């Protein structure tokens, strides 16, 4: 009976050692996976930022002194387009749509600035 108890205790101790090693190995793999996910996210973010800079440059090519006020990436079917709004030195607002795959301008619209001086139409009494 003593031998059986000794065997059981030894077996449980050995099993616990294997279990601890498996847990440690699993933790290392989990940490490594989390680091890989974080690195992938960082790489993707950098790639997206680089793409947006290229698309902004394509939008600004015809309006070099304009300022970007808004931009978005939209998908219609299988085509991604980049929509951006610019305002140039004269206050003209531009809406530009660019093919995100190749950087070509798809559509461009302008809106003249509103007259800032207000005329008074009040009647003196």
- Write down the domain spans for the chain: 2-111
What CATH number was assigned to the domain covering residues 2-111? 3.10.450.40
pLDDT of res. 112: 87
| Mean pLDDT of successive 10-residue stretches along the chain, which has 125 residues | 53 53 61 77 87 90 90 89 92 93 92 62 36
pLDDT of res. 121: 36
pLDDT of res. 125: 35
* SS3 state at 69: strand
Residue with tokens 């050995």: 14
Written as six digits, the tokens of 125 are 């009494």
């Amino acid at each position: 009976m003593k031998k059986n108890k000794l065997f059981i205790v030894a077996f449980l101790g050995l099993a616990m050692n294997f279990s601890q090693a498996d847990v440690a190995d699993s933790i290392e793999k989990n940490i490594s996976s989390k680091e890989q996910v974080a690195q992938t996210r960082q790489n993707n973010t950098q790639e997206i930022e680089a793409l947006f800079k290229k698309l902004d440059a394509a939008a600004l090519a015809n309006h070099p002194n304009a300022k970007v006020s808004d931009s978005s990436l939209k998908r219609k079917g299988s085509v991604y387009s980049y929509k951006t709004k610019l305002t140039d030195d004269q206050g003209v607002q531009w809406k530009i749509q660019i093919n995100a795959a190749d950087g070509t301008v798809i559509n461009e619209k302008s809106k003249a600035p509103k007259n800032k001086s207000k005329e008074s139409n009040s009647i003196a009494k």
